[in-house]
Structure 1
Amino acid sequence: MTTAAPSVPVVPSALDTPVRDWRTPVELTLLGAIWGGSFLFMRIAANDFGPFPLVLTRLVLGAAILLPFLWKVRSRITLAHVGKLFIAGLISAAAPFALFAWGAERAPAGIGAIANSATVLFSSLVAFVAFGEKIGPRKALALLVGFSGVVVLASGRTAGDNVAPAALAGAAASFCYGLGGNIVKRYLSDLPPIAVAAGTLLCAAILTAPLAIATWPSTPIPMHSWACAAALGILSTGLAYAFYFRLIQRIGAPRASVATYLVPLFGVAWAWLFLGEALTVTMAVAGVVILGSVVFSQKRG
C-alpha cells in the first residue's frame, strides 16, 4: 500500500467521540510526509534496481514489519482467505507498486505522487460499475473533473520529456488501488485490516519473486539505492501501515484518510528539495484538479 491507504471499515466509536489533541494533526502530517517520500525513494532507486527487483525488496521488508499482526490471527485464516489474499496482493500491491516503480524510471517523482491522488476516485468508480453502489451527482461530477486532471497530467512535459507514459502508469496503479480496496472491503472484511495488509504484502512478494529474480540487475546496486529501497519497504510500507491503523483505532478511518490528501504535496516537495525536480504548470494544475475533485467528492451534500 502506496502508497495509497488501504480500504478499511469505519470505527464508529472513534467517530462518535473524536479525539481532539495536538497529536492528531502532527501524526496525520507525518504519515502524509512518509507516504509522499515513497515516490522520492522510488525515483532514486528504480533505475538501479529495475521495477520488479525494487518492488520485491519493498514487499519483503514491508511484510516482515507487519507479519506479527498476521501471525496473531493465523487460526482464523482459511484456505478461501489465502486465495483472496493472493488476488488482493496482486491487485492492490504487486501491480500498482510495479507500475509506480516503472513510472519512476521515466518521469519526476511528483508525477506518480499526483496520479496516486486519483485512487479515491477510482475506488468510487469501481464500486459503482462493479458493485452497484450509488455515487450521486456530486461524486459523478467529481469523477469527471478528477479524470480530466489525469489527462492534464499526461499532457505535460518535464525538461522536454513526455511524461504521459509515467502518468498513465500512475493512473493505472491508482485504479488497481481502487479495485483492490473494494475487493478487500467486500471479501476480506472478516479479518483485521492490518492483518489483511500483511497478508496481501506477503502474497504479493511471492507473486513478484519470479519476475524479480529473472530481471535482477547484473551490476552491483549502489548503497544509496539500497538505502532508498530499505526506506521504501520499512518506513513507507511496513511502519507507515502500522502507524496508519493505529491512527484509525484512535480517530476513525475517515479522519485518518486525510493523510492521503497530503501525499502529492509532500511527494512534489521532497522531489524538489532533494532532487531539484521543478513543479511544472501542468503538474500544478493537474494536482489541484485531481485533489480538489477528491475533496469535493468526500464532502457531504
Structure 2
Amino acid sequence: MSTANLFRLILLAAIWGGSFLFMRIAAPVLGPGVLIEYRVLFAALFLAAIALLLKKPLGWREHWKHYLVLGIFNAALPFLLFAWAARTLSASVLSVLNATAPMWGALIGAVWQRQMISGRVLAGLVLGTAGVALLVGFDHVSSRDGAGLAIAAALFAAFNYGIASTYAKAAPSVEPFANAHGSMWAATLLTLPSLLVFPAPAPATPGALAAALALGVLCSGVAYLLYYGLIRDVGATSALTVTFLNPLFGILWGALFLHEVVGWYTIAGAAIVIAGTALVTGYRPPFSLRKAKAA
C-alpha cells in the first residue's frame, strides 16, 4: 500500500470514527429522527452534486428496490439506532460496538447459506462477545439509566450492517458510487416517519446543526467517496483495514473533545473486539514482512 493510500485509509478511519462524536453532540439536542433525516439528506444532496459534476447516472428506475434495501439496512435503521443510543452511551463505547458489524455479517452469511461455522469463526465470535462484555461491564456509562437498551440498540445497528453486507454479496451489480448515492436518497424517504416518533426535544443549536452537517457531508458523503476509491485502488481486503482503525479514532475523539474517560477496559475491550473481528472475517494484513524485505 502506497503512502498516499495509507494516508487516505487513516483519514477515512478518522472521519468515520468522528461520526460517533458528532452523534453524541447532536442527538440529545435534535433527537435521533431529526438528526438522521438531516444526515441522510445532506449526504444525498452532496452526492447528487458530485454525480452531476462527474455525470454519473443513478439508474433509479432499474434499481430502486435495491436502493431501498440498502437505504434501510445500511443507512436509515442503523443510523437511527446509533443516534438513539448516542443520547446515553459515550462515543468510545459506540465506536467499539460498531466494530462488531463484520462479525454479525459473517454469522448472518453462514446462516443464510446454511453453512457450518468454522472453529476460527466461532472463536472470533466468542472473543468479540467477551470484548463487548468487558467494555460495557466496566465502563461507567453502563450504570446510566437506559444504558442496557442503548447497548442493545447499538448492537442491533451493527447487526443491520451485517444484513446489508450479506445482501450486497448477492445483490445486482451496481456501480459503487450509485449504491452510495441511491441508498442515501432512499434513506431520506425511509427516515421521514421517524420524525413523528422522535420529535426534536429542544430547539436546534448552531453546534447541533453543524454536527448534523458534518455527519451528512463529511461522514457519509466524503467518507463514501474515500472508501470506494480505496476499494478501487487497493482492493476490498486492504480497504477493510478501516474497520479496525475506526474504534481507535472513536475513542480518541471522545477523549479529546468530550473528555470521556478512557480506562484500561476501554483499550482492552476494543482490542479484543478487533481481534475477534479479524478472526471472523479471516482478515490478513495487506502486506507481509517477507514481501517488504523482498521489495
Residues 153 and 282, structure 1, Cα contact 8 Å, conserved in 2: yes
8 Å contact from structure 1 (residues 154, 165) kept in 2 = no
1:181 to 165, 174, 185: 165
2:213 partner amino acid: A
CA distance in 1, matches of 2:116, 2:283: 15
CA distance in 2, matches of 1:75, 1:239: 21
SS for the counterpart of 1:28 is helix
Is 1:150 aligned to residue 125 of structure 2? no
**Percent pairwise identity:** 32
What per-residue deviation string (whole Å, max 9, x for no partner) do you get for residues 247-301 of structure 1?
Answer: 111111110111121110000100000110011343333212111111233246x
- Give the drift of 1:165: 2.8
For structure 1, which segment, 142-151 or 260-269, has the greater mean C-alpha deviation from structure 2 after superposition? 142-151
Match of 1:234 in 2: 217
Moved more, 127-136 or 41-50: 127-136
Distance 2:57 2:116 in 1: 34
Q: Name the structure 2 match of 1:222.
A: 205
* Alpha carbons 2:30, 2:203 under 8 Å: kept: no
Q: 2:11 aligns with which of 11, 30, 42?
A: 30
Aligned-pair CA distance for 1:213: 5.3
> How far did residue 110 of structure 1 move?
0.7
CA distance change for structure 1 residues 281 and 169 in 2, over 3 Å: closer, same or farther? farther
Q: Distance in 2 between matches of 1:135 and 1:63?
A: 38
Larger displacement relative to structure 2 (55-64 or 146-155): 146-155
Normalising by structure 1, we get a TM-score of: 0.85
8 Å Cα contact 1:272-1:279 kept in structure 2: yes
| 5+ long unaligned stretches in structure 2 | 285-295
Question: In structure 2, what residue type is equivalent to 1:50?
Answer: G
User: What residue number does 1:60 align with?
Assistant: 41
Corresponding letter in the other structure for 2:160: C
TM-score (norm 2): 0.87
Matched residue type, 2:174: L
Q: Is the 8 A contact 2:33 2:197 kept in 1?
A: no
- Paired residue for 1:124, among 91, 106, 109? 106
Which ranges of structure 1 fall in alignment gaps of 5 or more residues? Answer: 1-19
Amino acid at match of 1:184: A
Distance apart, 1:112 and its partner CA? 0.7
Aligned Cα root-mean-square deviation (Å): 2.1
Q: More displaced, 198-207 or 117-126? A: 198-207
Change (3 A) 1:56 1:28: same
Q: Is 1:261 matched up with 2:244?
A: yes
Tell me how far 1:215 sits from its aligned partner: 3.7
- Given residue 258 of structure 1, which amino acid in structure 2 is its aligned partner? T
- Please give the secondary structure, in 2, of the residue aligned with 1:85: helix
2:64 corresponds to 1:82: yes
Q: CA deviation at 1:218?
A: 6.5
* Most deviating of 157-166 and 284-293: 157-166
| Cα deviation, residue 161, structure 1 | 2.6
